[in-house]
Structure 1
């Protein structure tokens, strides 16, 4: 039996999804491709028959109370919407794992309404053609110390590979840079480094090192005082909100970029001197 089959057997009848929008249906599709019929709930379609018609009978629409039976919930709705769900006893005392996939509200806010659950923030990248769903996840100190951590890790692996981050500020920034913006940024950095190496007559093998310096410094210097997380409460539940936050920080990022480029240039100067020294030694002449 394969590892995938083992996981499916382990999670049969233990998973549930909140939300039947594009994200919720993508999660359900991925899990169904693994042989798991995961119950799906949507506030907009409380009537199961209506949801069943919309999803063409492909998925398993259920009532909100039905989800009390599961151990792991994927919340494919804005984190703020979790605060407005029915205030029933099972929900307030839910003690399983809940993946908060919304890009609004910090993890502590969600934990306040679900104090007995292990709450893990997860940001998925939905592939256009289906298949594995790569994710970025937040495992802070509280989650890492939780006895349900192994369950959470195993459940997340059903979707696809997960990159775990242990600081929420860095997690927030990573989600801001995710998707097309991250691709464009990496592409721009790559071209910048290549041109700089060419102008400085340095070998292309230094590209990865310099690109790593640029990207890591950009991330670290952009964290600031976690203002992006604070503004997330009201602005970052939609892709448009993400754009607004990113644009709102453009002046700060622009200023930091000058320092990052200067750092890269200093490193290039150091590498050039090392190259000159090596070449001189290979010719059998001691450097001055």
Structure 2
């Protein structure tokens, strides 16, 4: 199952992405949720078949951020080669690095991501977004995947000089509309083992990042266990699982993105998150 939020005829709604287009939630018999967060909280197991229901062509809609964002917790330096390119030991640390992003620092697939005028060190970070499906608090690793509804692609757009102003990364990770998530959420039963999926980031068609997600130092299960220990997670909350090597800051010459560049983050079996850089 694939869930998308979208704008159609000047109204924002949500629905289900099928081979024939989007089935709006209002067309699904018995579905009473009015937001994606409500839908995830209510559960989707009892939804009837979408076959034969009216659809809207994807070409007729503008995608929105696929879930109404609440908590967005991000894992930093979670791949060994990304740690190494940043001058850190590639070995797994005792604890994951976790920071937060604000909801308004995100845009949808197809929307421009915004390079701030105060910096030319605007970088991409392709990642996997983990979408929580039910309330999670003090969840053990062995049960963690039971709390996942699905996944999306994620771009943890980063303003590197502002990120390094202090040991806390929050300023460089939260510029208005500097990151992205989408294009939709794909259920975990459709993706299968997420560790077997490939993440790839491209800038103007050039491959910058390419990794098997199973190479992460802290798995999705371990991140959920750790994060849910210090904060409860609600349906629709996000954990971004970290970026691999290949960021622009580590290139020689530097590979920071500029106005007009097109950044694509693709997770196999999920889709392509596409954004053009503006200022």
Structure showing the higher helix proportion among its residues: 1
* TM-score (normalised: structure 2): 0.24
* TM-score (normalised: structure 1): 0.23
Give the greater-gyration-radius structure (CA). 1
